[in-house]
Amino acid sequence: MSAAWSPERPDQELVNGVTDLFHAAWGFTPDAVFSAPGRVNLLGEHVDYSGGTVMPLALPQRTFVAVSPRTDGVYQAVSAQAEGVQRATLAEVAPGATATGWFSYVVGVPWAMAHEGLIDEDAAAHLGLDVAVDSTVPLGAGLSSSAALECAIALAVDHAASATDPTRALLAATSEGRRRLAAACVRAENEIAGASTGGMDQSIALQAREGSVLSIDCRDFSVAPVDIDVAGAGLALLVIDTNAPHRLVDGQYAQRRAACEDARSTLGVTTLRDAFDGAPTSERLTHLLADWERGAQDPSRNTSPAQAARITPLLRHAWSEMVRVQQCQDLFDDRSTVPRDGTRWSRLGRLLNDSHLSLRDDYRVSCPELDVAVSAAQKAGALGARMTGGGFGGSAIALVHGDDVSVVAEAVAEAFEARHLTAPAFLVAAPSGPARRET
């Protein structure tokens, strides 16, 4: 059998395609085309809502939106990935009462931008958009097609708002402006699309640096590029989209988030990350866990001993993942004393393997497909592999030698076939650029 690769189409083909789709839907040529990338997270999983640092990179796969502004407050959209025409005014958009499905990711963005004061109230009443969408980011694969769509729309709204008001500066022109657009996209996804999201996806889509992994401190969403040049070291980051069926997992995510919140309030810290009181280290982790277990017996605490025991493995994941992120940053830091040969790449591989075990056994967000993908990649020679994204399906990543990409992909595809699982799809992640205007 041969491994299936996600189709790669040149950006220009997508720009032309989405322009044609726009023309077919609305009968005229669009004013502009914007795009935003999907992402994959190298390390730092399920720590964004606990104030941890995440290390994503933008994928070459992007979502393109062709748009023209309207002056009647109407938003209407078609997508190459969805059926039918969607239409709404902002007055019809509200948490829990909006256009459902994919259109909520579109119309939620101007709604949130208006609520965050990023477009002024009068302008928001009149502003609208005709939209056509096309994308090479696989939908629902944990590679953040949702944020790619939101962030491309955010640039379109930003641009349309500035076009009608010459005194309004483009938010997309500055890093701080992009941070605020990302916050509005998070709000759109949480409140209008009704999906929990911690902020990593929107930050990387808007702030990515071509060629770099980004380190995002989720306490303040400050970003810094990290020099992890996978391709330069003759390696590749293989992404395995498991194509696992969607499972009912919303409650699972919310439960873990709530448990982390209980622990945070019991400990009296601003975020679980702040419990480290300095850089996260293994020594400090040991102390923190011992303190937590001792404290579990304290009757004055707001978590009962039984509750505290249930939270312990979740805390162990969150804190140990923060330590792994720190160790990864230290490995690739300018001041790192680890040799710049294969040593640090094999150490990175071990961090990925450990992250997977922690997510599987402590945080319990893996699933059979992710475990099969990770262990088959490891057996086929990957330096390291782990599930990435929220879990319960979605994608895994494997750090592999450049020459081994096909071999590892074949091995994973065969392992899926042997277990009668739906065939996975593959792509190679090369760090790409942020949301931008194309034409």
User: Interface with ligand ADP by CB under 6 A: which residues?
Assistant: 63, 79, 81-82, 101-102, 105, 133, 135, 139-146, 149, 195
Count of CB atoms situated within 10 Å of the CB of 186: 21
Q: Which does 63 bind (CB under 5 to 8 A by kind): Mg ion, ligand ADP, none?
A: ligand ADP
Dihedral angle of Cα 327, 333, 339, 341, to the nearest 10 degrees: 100
Q: Are strands 128-135 and 425-429 parallel, antiparallel or unpaired?
A: unpaired
Is residue 76 a contact point for Mg ion (CB under 5 A)? no
Nearer to ligand ADP, 41 or 212 (CB): 41
Count of CB atoms situated within 10 Å of the CB of 222: 14
DSSP tag of 397 = E
Q: Which does 432 bind (CB under 5 to 8 A by kind): ligand ADP, Mg ion, none?
A: none
Q: How far is the CB of 371 from ligand ADP (least distance, A)?
A: 19
Q: How far is the CB of 188 from Mg ion (least distance, A)?
A: 12
Residues 136 and 334: their CA atoms lie apart, in Å, by: 35
Nearer to ligand ADP, 117 or 140 (CB): 140
List the one residue out of 96, 79, 78, 99 whose CA is nearest residue 88. 99
Q: How far is the CB of 328 from Mg ion (least distance, A)?
A: 24
List the one residue out of 236, 229, 213, 233 whose CA is nearest residue 381. 236
Nearer to ligand ADP, 76 or 162 (CB): 76
List the one residue out of 355, 365, 375 whose CA is nearest residue 416. 375
Among all residues, whose Cβ is closest to Mg ion? 146
Q: Which does 329 bind (CB under 5 to 8 A by kind): Mg ion, ligand ADP, none?
A: none
Q: How far is the CB of 147 from Mg ion (least distance, A)?
A: 6
Residues 205 and 202: their CA atoms lie apart, in Å, by: 5
If residue 133 lies in a helix (H) or strand (E), which one and from where to where?
strand 128-135
Q: Which does 105 bind (CB under 5 to 8 A by kind): ligand ADP, Mg ion, none?
A: ligand ADP
Residue from 79, 146, 162, 203 touching Mg ion (CB under 5 A): that is: 146
Q: How far is the CB of 289 from Mg ion (least distance, A)?
A: 31
330 is a catalytic site residue: no
Identified catalytic residue from 48, 130, 158, 201? 201
- CB of 34 closer than 8 Å to CB of 435: yes
Stretch touching Mg ion by CB under 5 A, among 141-149, 270-278, 298-306, 339-347 = 141-149
Strand order in the sheet with 56-70: 86-89, 74-79, 128-135, 56-70, 32-41, 436-437
Q: How far is the CB of 113 from Mg ion (least distance, A)?
A: 19
Residues 222 and 203: their CA atoms lie apart, in Å, by: 9
Number of shown-chain residues binding Mg ion (CB under 5 A): 2
Nearer to ligand ADP, 81 or 375 (CB): 81
Stretch touching Mg ion by CB under 5 A, among 20-28, 102-110, 144-152, 370-378 = 144-152
Residues 175 and 240: their CA atoms lie apart, in Å, by: 31
Task: Taking the CA atoms of 138, 142, 146 and 152 in sequence, report the sign of the dihedral they define.
Answer: negative
Nearer to ligand ADP, 44 or 280 (CB): 44
Nearer to ligand ADP, 76 or 378 (CB): 76
Which amino acids are annotated catalytic? 201
**Which residues lie near Mg ion (CB under 5 A)?**
144, 146
